[in-house]
Amino acid sequence: MRHFKLIPIAAAALALLSGCISVPPDTNKAPGPDFAKAQHAPAIQLPAAAWPAEQWWLDYHDPQLNALVARALRDSPTLAVAAARVASARAAFGAEVANEGGKVDLASGLNRQRYSSNGFFPPPIGGAWFNDASVSVRASYDVDWWGKHRALIAAALGETNAAAAESAQARQVLAASVVQSYLRLQMLWARQDNTNALIAVQRDVIAGRKARMAHGLVSLDSLQSAEQDLAGLQEQAARYDTDAAREREGLRALIGGDAAALTDLARFQPAPAIDAVPRELGMELLARRPDLQAARWRVEAQLGRVAASEAAFRPDINLAAAIGLDATSLGKLLRYPSRTPLIGATLDLPLFDSGRLHARLGQARGSRDELLAEYNEAVLNAVRDVAREAATLQGIAKETAAHAATIDASRKLAANAEARMQRGLADRAAVLQARLAVLRQRDVDLQLTDARLQTQVALVKALGGGYHTLSNTR
């Protein structure tokens, strides 16, 4: 019992020594993001004020699109890689947790050894063979006075949550890419169909001019000009066909399909969803953007590493105990006199290692500040992305409203030309020109629709694509 009287003395010495070891002050810590500035301009107002739903692509009411997104989220190799990274991070977290606290192990051994006749032990021990059998249960406990292991566990948890957020980011990016590719393909087909309609009308124009030129009513230049317009339309139709083929192959790669995956894909005229942006962003944007969550958890992980580096400046004490049996023969191994109890403690005090400790702490703090700066930048970039896409949608809405008047006027002119021709007040050439004007305005309308569809998806992506943080906890 007298040995335990040394414990208070050791504790006092430990406190004295720990007071003599000072952790360098932290003077360069970067500030966190200012969420008061994380807001788009009040002038940006869209018809609806809402965050994207989890399956936001359902708003386009296209079963083909829904099936493609589901297939991509199920079969994509990109998501398999992300899932493997999450599993690896969770395993690392489990290993760090397992290192905390105490551990118990069992050791046993059986040896047969001859002692030297010319060694330390004289005969009859020297020159004889002896057996040595032992079995022991050993226990040790790391007290973790300064929270070093707790900090390392927090760092591992941060990496696990960051990997989970990056996996969610991969899902959101993949879903947005599939939707954008599919919508772009459908709009290319729609513009190709409209161009084919233009080609058909232009051929009628050429046929009419040929008939009139036979009677000397139009010049050759007029006919050749119409033929030149037809060649331009045919070139445009061929370009749409090439672009559509490229887009279809890109979409097939996104969903991980084989060569025949999209052969039965049908044409579908997509209708834009309702334009929506939240009235306020702020902290909610952090919870809705998986990439911001990943950046935040990287910072949290590094804060844990900084705390562990600071704890390394402090003394470390470990307790150990063992109870076992040791005998020179198996017959005596289980007897009471063969017992070998052990109890002890170890103190690890970094007295002459300040250079290495200072360097490691400085590196950890530097990495923390770098991650904080990157996080702040990512928040500002996210707000910028939302504001730019929302402003673009607002501008497209104005262009579409203005163009609606133009296309309505061209349709009225076409209807008037049809009516005049039926009354004998206009010829077929005037009607064909009016139809061409309507189809050209229709192409502009398709361009605006395409731009609106792509921007809608880009805005959904900027808002996090329906993600909401679900962080792991210990």
Taking the CA atoms of residue 246, residue 250, residue 255 and residue 259 in that order, the dihedral angle to the nearest 10 degrees is 50
Q: Which two tokens stand for residue 347?
A: 């103190």
Stretch 50-69: mean pLDDT, rounded? Answer: 94
Identify residue 278 by its one-letter amino acid code: P
| Percent share of the chain, pLDDT over 90 | 36
Per-residue pLDDT at 3 exceeds 70: no
Q: Each residue of 199-223: pLDDT tens digit?
A: 999 998 888 888 878 777 777 888 8
Domains and CATH numbers, the chain: 23-100+157-308+351-462 (1.20.1600.10), 101-143+316-349 (2.20.200.10)
Residue 63 has pLDDT above 90, yes or no: yes
Tokens of 195: 């161009």
Helix intervals (H) in 338-427: 354-422
Asked if residue 56 lies in contact with residue 466, where contact means CB atoms within 8 angstroms, the answer is yes
Per-residue pLDDT tens for 310-366?
A: 888 887 777 778 787 777 766 767 777 777 787 877 777 776 677 888 888 888 888
Residue range 277-299: average pLDDT? Answer: 89
Could you report the per-residue pLDDT of 106-126, keeping only the tens digit for each? 888 788 778 787 777 788 877
Over range 268-277, report the average pLDDT: 92
- What stretch of H or E contains 324? strand 316-327
For residue 11, what are the β-bridge partners? none
For the cut 50, the answer to whether the pLDDT of residue 420 exceeds it is yes
List beta partners, residue 129.
114
- CA distances in angstroms from 403 to 443, 446, 473, listed in the order given: 11, 11, 53
